[in-house]
């Protein structure tokens, strides 16, 4: 993508106020995720340990024993009065953990789940899509057969099967989501490569004696890369939503990883007992981030490539 293309895209996005608002919200969430990545030293008897992140340090509040409502001004058991600064703004969950803190911890997980699988998928999809589209013939048939087979297995079942076999964990989840989501992207890139490879400038480069590798990676790849960028933003919401479902049914991230799916799972039966803050916080975080990405991704897609509009 040339500089001017990028400028045109940015100008188009800036015209849409909703998309700009969405982008700002994404930036705020990304900032929280970054804060959760910066390790801070903890002094212990055995030396300095680098386990705490900046986000952990910002939430240095006394844990409760059990549920406490949002903004409770005194502790549940010792009835000690809290200073305003050490109150749990959004209450605590059944283990006495601060709900706001748990919600913020989920942001980093959401970003990892929303972006890493598409990057993994893009690696496969770009290579295979380029080769299928460029070489055609037997290679094309083989790659098409592979994605025909994989797309015939409903992705939720393939995910469950893979996650049952692998150990539970955030990275395993990313790999599983990546493997199940490369097919759509591969199909798009193959189609685009078919179009691009017969354009005049590729013909010209071939006439000048450029090798296949140079044609593919130097001339065709940059002209299909925008599809990858579009796909990353478009898939983000779906991936984050899938994570909550998978965690809810018991094959998602392991306990101990901040996750909105886990918060929802732990809180959904408590709604009838009047404990709403835990569930609402997780749902609100999820809703706001997904809404921001949905508004931004649509505009980005239209700005970069209006032909890809799917609905």
Partner 1 sequence: MLSYIVRRFLLAIPTVIGVCLVTFLLFNVFASPEAVARKQLGKNPTETQIAAWVASHGMDKPMFFNLHREKDGRLHPFDSRFWNHMRELVLFQFPESDYLHEKVTSLLKQKIGPSLSLTVPAFLLSMIVTLPIALFIAYYRGTYIDKLALFICVILMSIAILNYIIFGQYLLAVVFKYFPIYGYDFGVGAWKFLLLPVILAVASGLGGGVRFYRTIMLNEVRADYVRTAMAKGVSEEGILFKHVLKNAMIPILTTTVLSIPFLITGSLLLEIFFGIPGMGNLMINAINNHDYPVIRTLVYIYSLLYIAGSILTDISYTLVDPRVSFK
Q: What are phi and psi of 282, to 5 degrees?
A: -60, -45
Site of tokens 């929802």: 264
Which of 23-31, 120-128, 189-197, 280-288 is the region at the interface with partner 1 (rule: CB under 8 A)? Answer: 280-288
Q: Does 142 bind partner 1 (CB under 8 A)?
A: no
C-beta atoms surrounding 4 within 10 Å: 8
Residue 225 is given by DSSP the state H
Which of 1-9, 110-118, 225-233, 291-299 is the region at the interface with partner 1 (rule: CB under 8 A)? Answer: 291-299
Distances in Å between the alpha carbon of 57 and those of 39, 60, 101, 133, 266? Answer: 10, 6, 11, 51, 25
Site of tokens 């893979």: 162
Residue 258's closest CA among 51, 122, 81, 113?
A: 113
DSSP alpha helix (H) spans, 48-87: 54-58
Given 7, 148, 195, 218, the residue binding partner 1 (CB under 8 A)? 148
Contact string 199-218 vs partner 1 (x = CB under 8 A): --------------------
CA separation for the pair 219, 203 (Å, rounded): 10
| Least gap, CB of 142 to partner 1 (angstroms) | 11
Contact string 7-36 vs partner 1 (x = CB under 8 A): -----------x------------------
Given 83, 208, 272, 306, the residue binding partner 1 (CB under 8 A)? 272
| Least gap, CB of 182 to partner 1 (angstroms) | 14
Give the residue with the Cβ less far from partner 1, 202 or 289. 289
Given 21, 245, 266, 308, the residue binding partner 1 (CB under 8 A)? 245
| Least gap, CB of 18 to partner 1 (angstroms) | 8
Q: Confirm if 165 and 251 have CB atoms less than 8 A apart.
A: no
Which of 44-52, 115-123, 201-209, 247-255 is the region at the interface with partner 1 (rule: CB under 8 A)? Answer: 247-255
Given 171, 201, 217, 287, the residue binding partner 1 (CB under 8 A)? 287
Q: Confirm if 130 and 220 have CB atoms less than 8 A apart.
A: yes
CA separation for the pair 272, 142 (Å, rounded): 54
H helix and E strand count, the chain: 12, 2
CA separation for the pair 44, 273 (Å, rounded): 41
Which of 2-10, 131-139, 228-236, 261-269 is the region at the interface with partner 1 (rule: CB under 8 A)? Answer: 261-269
Q: Does 264 bind partner 1 (CB under 8 A)?
A: yes
Given 156, 195, 199, 217, the residue binding partner 1 (CB under 8 A)? 156
Quote the longest CA-to-CA distance of the chain: 83
Instruction: Give me the residues that bind partner 1 (CB under 8 A), please.
Output: 18, 145-146, 148-150, 152-158, 160-162, 164-166, 237, 241, 244-245, 248-251, 261, 264, 268, 271-272, 279, 283, 286-287, 290-291, 294-295, 298, 309-311
């Amino acid at each position: 993508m040339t500089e001017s293309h990028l400028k045109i895209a940015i100008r188009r996005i800036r015209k849409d106020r909703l998309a700009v608002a969405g982008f700002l919200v994404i930036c705020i969430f990304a900032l929280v995720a970054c804060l959760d990545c910066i390790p801070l030293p903890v002094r212990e008897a055995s030396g300095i340990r680098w386990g705490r992140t900046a986000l952990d340090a910002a939430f240095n509040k006394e844990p409760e024993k059990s549920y406490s409502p949002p903004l409770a001004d005194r502790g549940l058991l010792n009835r000690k009065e809290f200073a305003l600064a050490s109150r749990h703004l959004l209450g605590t969950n059944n283990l006495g953990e601060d709900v706001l803190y748990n919600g913020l911890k989920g942001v980093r997980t959401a970003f990892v789940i929303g972006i890493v699988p598409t990057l993994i998928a893009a690696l496969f999809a770009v290579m295979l899509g380029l080769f299928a589209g460029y070489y055609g013939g037997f290679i094309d048939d083989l790659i098409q057969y592979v994605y025909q087979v994989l797309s015939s297995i409903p992705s939720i079942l393939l995910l469950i099967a893979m996650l049952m076999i692998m150990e539970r964990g955030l990275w395993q989840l990313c790999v599983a989501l990546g493997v199940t989501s490369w097919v759509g992207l591969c199909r798009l890139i193959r189609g685009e490569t078919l179009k691009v490879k017969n354009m005049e400038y590729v013909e010209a480069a071939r006439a000048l004696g450029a090798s296949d590798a140079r044609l593919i990676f130097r001339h065709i790849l940059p002209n299909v890369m925008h599809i990858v960028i579009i796909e990353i933003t478009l898939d983000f919401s779906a991936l984050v939503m899938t994570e909550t479902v998978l965690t809810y049914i018991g094959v998602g991230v392991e306990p101990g990883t901040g996750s909105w799916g886990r918060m929802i799972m732990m809180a959904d039966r408590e709604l009838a007992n009047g404990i709403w803050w835990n569930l609402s916080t997780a749902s609100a975080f999820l809703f706001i981030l997904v809404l921001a990405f949905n508004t931004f991704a649509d505009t980005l897609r239209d700005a970069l490539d209006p032909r890809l509009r799917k609905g």
